[in-house]
Every structure is written in C-alpha cells, then in structure tokens.
Amino acid sequence: MADLPRAARLYLGAVLVTASLAAVVGIIVAPARLALAPVALVLLGCAAVAQQFKVRSPKHQSYYTTTIFFFAAALLLHPGYVVAIIVVAHAVELLRVRYRWYIQAFNVANFVLCSLAAGALFSAGLQGHAAGDARAPLFALLAGLVFVGLNHVLTALVIMWARGVPISRAGTLDWDNLGTDLALMSVGALGSLLWLTNPWFVPLCLGPLFLIYRSLLVPTLKEEARTDPKTELANMKHWNEVAQAEVERARRFGRPLTVVLADLDLLREINNRHGHLTGDQMIRRVADALRGALREYDVPARFGGDEFAILMPETTLPEAMRVAERVRRGVEAIALKLSDGTTVAASVSIGVALFPGHGRNASELLAAADRAVYQAKALGRNRVCAFADRENESLRPITISAASRREAS
C-alpha cells in the first residue's frame, strides 16, 4: 500500500475501518439465526462459483455475477452470514488469482458496506409486513439502488485517489456500467422475493442469470474483433471504418485531419540477429510508445508487420508534425534489455499526410503518408517527413522548431 498516494491510503483505511465497524455492529444487533444456515450455504456455494467467472470489459473493468448472490444474501440473511459469504467468496478467488492484499480487502469492505446498507433498508421497509406485500418489491428496488449506487461511488473514489483519474472518467458511473449492475440486482431481488413467497420458483432465475453472463461477453468479443492481438491497437479493418467516417465529417464541416504512418526501422535486422520473439516484443514496445505519445482522440492501428497507422482528427499539419515528433522520440527512447544483457534500440520513420491537400479519402491519405515514409527512410531513417506534393519535389524532413520540440516533449 506504500506505492499508493497518501489520499488513497487514507481513503482505503477509512473504508476498511468503517466496514469492520459496520459488520461488528450488524452482527451484534442482528445475530445470525441457525435456521437460515441452509440458505446461507446455498448462497455461499453459488457466490464462490460465480466469483471464478470474471468478465473483463474493453475498458478494463471487471464484472462478476457474484453480486447477485451478495445482494440476495443482504435481503434474506442476517449480517453475520452476509459478511461470511462475501469474505469466503473472495478468499476462494485468491486460490486462483493473486491480487495485492489491499485491492482484495477494499473489494470485500466495499461489498460489506453495500450489502449491510441494502439489507438494513429492506428489513426496515418490510418490518411488520408480509413478503407478498406490495412494499416488498418497492423496498427491494430501493435496496438495489442503494447497493449499486454506493458500490460505484466507493469504487470511483478509490480510482480517483489511487490513479489520479477524475470521477467523470473513472467509468464506474457510466450508464453502461450502472445498467449492468442494476440488471444483476434485479435478478437477485427477484430470486429473493420468490424465495420469501414460493422457493420452488427460484430456479427460474437461472435462465436470466445465464443470459446476463453471456451478454457481458459481447462487448469483449466486439473489441477483440477490431483489435490487433499482438499490440492491442486497432486493426486496419476497424481503423478504416473510423477513418472513412472522420474523413466524411472533415469534408462536410471543412475541418482539418491528418494521417500518420510510422514504420519501425530495421525490424528484419532485429529478427535476424535476436530472433522473432525479440522482434515481436519490440513491436509491442513500439505500440506502447505510440499510446504514451498520442492524444486521447488519436486512433492508432497496426497497419502491417512493422507499420502503424495513426488517424488524427481535428489536427492541422503543424500539430501533426509535433505529435509525430513526440512519437519518434518516444520510440527512440526504447531500450529493450535481453536476457544476455544486450540492449536493443529502436527507431521509426514517420510520414504525415494532410486532408484534403494530400488525399481526398482514407486510402489516398495512407498512400501519401506511405510515400512520405519512404522519403524519411531515404534521408537516413529515424525522422519525420511530410508528403511531397510533386514527384520531382526535393525530399526534405519536416523541420521541428525548438519551441515545438519542447512542446512535443
């Protein structure tokens, strides 16, 4: 935890202490009843199994159907059972995946707080009324909103303080994210209400649960279909689709747009001298350098074996020159250390083409940028060149002013 910012450490400590106190108070106020032990064991088994099936979204967020069983336990059981189910489910996961201790501790504390709050609200609303009363679904809905809202707010705050990411960009408060967990809560609420009224109907919830789990995989499958597996950049099919749309937008509204092509210099030599595995590793390092040097709205893709295409909407030629220079310097800084102590360096030759002067569509812009790459290589590699409008125009690298170089860095 020492690697976290001070604000994040204080926040994590506060959440852990609050969850511990809430659990102790809940157990004292509402001690576990032995009659509910069979229900607790069933929910524990389901939660422990569901915790092993994580779905990771394209935005690097994780979804578990486990929350269905945590929420159901919050509505049906006393706090002691709820805390035990949450702790054991996460402990079982640790047998397969190792996290930093404070990450798993925060997840447990988060779910404990959400579950105890939701359970207290549901119990207070249903007190003195039958499970079949109209108040039951109403307070189950309110409890679900409290569970999801509190869970996402607590997660957004830890992301903000641990990673320095604003809450608006943390992703946990996005509608897609909230909607998914609300759907999970509705299944948990439905199963709980059925258990309270007629337990024989509970197995009918397994169908929606299976469909929800399958639907969680769809965004990941879509992302895989448009991503290059080696570099995790966009593949050219997806890049072309985005580029065509952006070119049409630039044409319609008279906006600037540039296309950049970066070619990794001497990849064949790296492969021949150090092996193709080293070459593949270098390609991935170059892709990482591109991601680090580009802006949020730039669209990088792997164009070929050693080439990378970059779409830059709303970008003039001078702006593209500065960004391309930043890319070049980022790749030039790569020092890939091998097991024998050898260090392998890298460089790229970069070509820049501007819409509409150098091309009227994505294909023409790529062809122009490709010609500019050959200009850069002819001038000695490891440099940025603009497209030469005429075949007989003398080849020249783009000149980056000192001020622009400082801005690029």
Q: What CATH number has the domain bearing residue 249?
A: 3.30.70.270
Taking 3-state DSSP, the helix, strand and coil percentages for the chain, each rounded to the nearest 5, stand at 65, 10, 25
The C-alpha atoms of residue 409 and residue 30 are separated, in whole angstroms, by 60
* Omega of the bond leading into 137 within 30 degrees of 0 (cis): no
- Both 340 and 197 in one domain: the answer is no
Q: Is residue 384 domain-resident?
A: yes
* Residue 290 and residue 206 share a domain: no
Instruction: Tell whether 270 and 338 lie within a shared domain.
Output: yes
d(CA 18, CA 104): 16
Same domain, 288 and 371: yes
Alpha-carbon Rg of the chain, whole angstroms? 28
Q: Let me know whether 272 and 402 are in one domain.
A: yes
In a domain, 111, yes or no: yes
Note whether residue 1 is domain-resident.
Answer: no
Is 311 among the domain residues?
yes
Which residues contact residue 12 at a Cβ distance below 8 angstroms, ignoring those fewer than 6 apart?
A: 1, 4, 102, 105, 106, 158
pTM: 0.59
Neighbour-count burial for 72-98, b at 16+ CB within 10 Å, e otherwise? bbbbbbbbbbbbbbbeebbeebeeeee
- Do 263 and 374 have their domain in common? yes
Record the tokens describing residue 60, joined without a space: 């690097």
Does residue 244 sit in the same domain as residue 121? no
Host domain of residue 379: 236-408
For the chain, the domain total comes to 2
The single-letter DSSP state of residue 257 is E
Site of tokens 């969850």:
19
- Domain end call among 178, 193, 225: 225
* 312 and 199 part of one domain: no
Q: Of 181, 200, 225, which closes a domain? A: 225
CB 85 within 8 A of CB 41: no
Same-domain check for residues 275 and 141: no
210 with 85, same domain: the answer is yes
Asked whether residue 26 is assigned to any structural domain, the reply reads: yes
CATH of the domain at 85: 1.10.1760.20
Q: Is residue 77 part of a domain?
A: yes
- The continuous run of DSSP H or E covering 385 comes out as strand 384-386
Q: How far apart are CA 137 and CA 134, in angstroms?
A: 6
What is the sign, positive or negative, of the torsion defined by CA atoms of 7, 13, 16, 17? negative
pLDDT tens for the chain, residues 1 to 409:
667 788 888 999 999 999 999 999 999 988 888 888 999 999 999 888 888 776 655 454 566 788 889 999 999 999 999 999 999 998 888 777 777 788 889 999 999 999 999 999 999 888 877 777 778 889 999 999 999 999 989 988 888 888 776 777 666 777 777 887 888 888 888 888 888 888 888 888 777 777 776 776 666 666 677 888 889 899 999 999 999 999 999 999 999 999 999 999 989 899 899 999 999 999 999 999 999 999 888 999 998 889 999 999 999 999 999 999 999 999 999 999 988 888 999 999 999 999 999 999 999 999 999 999 999 999 999 999 999 754 444 444 444 433 333 333 3
* Among 166, 191, 225, residue at a domain's last position: 225
In angstroms, what CA-CA distances link 250 with 103, 247, 255, 365? 44, 5, 4, 13
